[in-house]
């Protein structure tokens, strides 16, 4: 290590060790690059928010909560379980074991690939120089050949609802040692609804406050009523077209669009109104780059900002998804290795891990119309599935959108059990420009949920 301002040479520097960053590191090492992976938490940051505090912990809670709920509500299937409950301290131990196992696996791969991991905050100082500020106050200057920015994002809050104490972000909610009796969630996007659904299943009285007129405002309107109805059955209360004003002594004050005020009992308040890209402290001016008002960076098709600096993941436009970041990582590395490449997916799956699950990919009929494409849509309810019936699931649907002239599949929406797994078939079909008829003629196993895609395709009139 060089201390002071004498830079040491580095081949490829990656800032951020989340799914995008570590995927880029492994792919670059495979291509023969010498990689320096920088994360502000060093080894402890491997996996990023997704593995350590977001995707993996939340899905652990969702699975545990669903197991408890199904045990408590399966008497009509002949199953009787008394006193099923979630022990939060025990679940926390399970969650940590999952995180450590997965993070350990990634670290082992990085070590085997010869990737160097450095701890500290990175900031650009010149076109090809950055400094790593370490926790002990030292500075390590790096003169790099190429660099990739993969610094992720952080949760947003607003005045009067700064994180701390009983006001939580999703990470803090997943770190609770006790199940709150009441929980108010500000924001009806996918993060708030996923955790709201899970907490409702383990006995928390959940209220969701959303300023807009429906839940999941960023997703197609067709999915909102199905999920809202299902969550209402869990006891979740929705306050749509309301804003949070203050939180005092276990009560959240909200106001409607008409100015009417009300108080909601809330032992805890979780703010889930979105995230902002982590680009503000990178010294981007030094490399001639400016972020937009949301901190996002405008990249070329090959993910490059300059000939030698690329950006991937939550710091770029598009959905903030781990699998998008990982896919971008491959493109960015290849571009910096001199390959002519581009990130041009036709189908990026988007998932909401609620009950029922929601999964969509490709484009909707409305989006197709904006592009001047005439579409045909066909839809089949989940209750048409024999497999869903055996699982006692009745809420949801499958919808396919295709080009009316060519029959090529353009998009798919699945609302129902295991939608997160089923959507992959639609992604492959869209990327391969398959026709709806191809799905209809492909033999699917019976009885399964997957055959819903075939059955829906077969509803299209010839």
Non-local CB neighbours of 403 within 8 Å, separated by 6+ positions: 368, 373, 374, 375, 376, 410
- Residues of the chain short of pLDDT 50, as ranges, are 1-3
Determine the Cα–Cα distance for residues 20 and 57; give it in Å rounded to an integer: 18
- C-alpha distances in Å from residue 186, one per residue of 203, 256, 267, 274: 19, 14, 14, 10
Cα dihedral sign, 193-249-160-279: negative
Q: Assess whether the previous peptide bond of 356 is cis (omega < 30° from 0).
A: yes
Is the domain spanning 8-154+276-336 CATH 3.50.50.60? The answer is yes
- Would you kindly state where each structural domain of the chain is located, as residue ranges? 8-154+276-336, 167-273, 350-458
Instruction: Specify the pLDDT at position 346.
Output: 96
Determine the Cα–Cα distance for residues 75 and 80; give it in Å rounded to an integer: 5
Instruction: Specify the pLDDT at position 3.
Output: 47
Strand partners, 40: none
Non-local CB neighbours of 156 within 8 Å, separated by 6+ positions: 271, 273, 274, 275, 276
The answer to whether the CB of 234 falls within 8 A of the CB of 200 is: yes
* Residue range 394-440, pLDDT digits in tens: 999 999 999 999 999 999 999 999 999 999 999 999 999 999 999 99
* Residue range 92-142, pLDDT digits in tens: 999 999 999 999 999 999 999 999 999 999 999 999 999 999 888 889 999
Let me know if the fold of 8-154+276-336 is the same as that of 350-458: no
Q: To which CATH superfamily is domain 167-273 assigned?
A: FAD/NAD(P)-binding domain (3.50.50.60)
- C-alpha distances in Å from residue 141, one per residue of 9, 279, 310: 9, 19, 19
Residues with a catalytic annotation lie at 446
Determine the Cα–Cα distance for residues 353 and 59; give it in Å rounded to an integer: 8
Residue linked to tokens 């959108």: 401
Cα angle 18, 208, 355 (rounded to 5 degrees) comes to 65
> Count of CB atoms within 10 A of residue 121's CB?
16
- Strands annotated E in 341-408: 350-352, 357-362, 375-381, 397-403
Non-local CB neighbours of 60 within 8 Å, separated by 6+ positions: 91, 94, 95, 98
Which among 208, 170, 204, 205 is positioned nearest to 186, based on CA atoms? 208
Q: To which CATH superfamily is domain 350-458 assigned?
A: FAD/NAD-linked reductase, C-terminal dimerisation domain (3.30.390.30)
- Its pTM stands at 0.95
Residue linked to tokens 């009983």: 166
Instruction: Specify the pLDDT at position 316.
Output: 98
């Amino acid at each position: 290590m060089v201390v002071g301002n004498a830079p040491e040479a580095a081949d490829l520097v990656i800032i951020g060790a989340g799914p995008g960053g570590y995927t880029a590191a492994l792919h670059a090492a495979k291509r023969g690059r010498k990689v320096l992976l920088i994360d502000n938490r060093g080894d402890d940051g491997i996996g990023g928010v997704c593995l350590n505090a977001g995707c993996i912990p939340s899905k652990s809670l969702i699975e545990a909560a669903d197991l408890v709920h199904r045990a408590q509500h399966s008497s009509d299937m002949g199953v009787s379980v008394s006193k099923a409950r979630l022990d939060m301290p025990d679940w926390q131990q399970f969650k940590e074991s999952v995180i450590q196992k997965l993070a350990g696996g990634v670290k082992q791969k990085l070590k085997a690939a010869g990737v160097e991991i450095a701890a500290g905050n990175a900031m650009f100082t010149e076109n090809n120089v950055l400094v790593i500020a370490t926790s002990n106050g030292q500075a390590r200057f790096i003169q790099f050949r190429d660099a990739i920015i993969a610094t992720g994002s952080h949760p947003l809050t607003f005045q009067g609802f700064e994180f701390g104490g009983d006001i939580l972000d999703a990470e803090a909610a997943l770190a609770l040692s006790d199940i709150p009796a009441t929980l108010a969630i500000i924001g009806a996007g996918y993060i708030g609804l996923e955790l709201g659904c899970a907490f409702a299943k383990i006995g928390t009285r959940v209220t969701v406050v959303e300023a807009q007129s429906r839940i999941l405002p960023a997703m197609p309107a067709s999915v909102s009523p199905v999920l809202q109805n299902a969550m209402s059955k869990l006891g979740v209360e929705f306050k749509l077209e309301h804003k949070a004003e203050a939180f005092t002594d276990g009560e959240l004050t909200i106001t409607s669009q008409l100015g009417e005020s009300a108080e909601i009992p809330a032992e805890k308040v979780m703010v889930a109104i979105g995230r902002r890209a982590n680009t503000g402290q990178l010294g981007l001016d030094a490399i001639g780059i400016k972020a937009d008002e949301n901190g996002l960076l405008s990249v070329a098709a090959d993910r490059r900002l300059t000939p030698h600096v690329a950006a991937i993941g939550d710091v770029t436009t598009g959905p903030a998804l781990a699998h998008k970041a990982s896919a971008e990582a491959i493109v960015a590395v290849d571009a910096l290795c001199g390959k002519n490449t581009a990130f041009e997916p036709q189908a990026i799956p988007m998932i909401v891990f609620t009950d029922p699950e929601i999964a969509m990919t490709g484009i909707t009929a409305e989006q197709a119309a904006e592009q001047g494409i005439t579409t045909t849509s066909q839809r089949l309810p989940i209750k048409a599935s024999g497999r869903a019936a055996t699982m006692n699931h009745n809420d949801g649907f499958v919808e396919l959108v295709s080009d009316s002239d060519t029959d090529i599949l353009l998009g798919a929406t699945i609302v129902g059990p295991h939608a997160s797994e089923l959507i992959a078939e639609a992604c492959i079909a869209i990327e391969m420009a398959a026709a709806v008829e191809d799905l209809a003629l492909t033999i699917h196993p019976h009885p399964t949920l997957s055959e819903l895609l075939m059955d829906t395709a077969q509803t299209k009139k010839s």
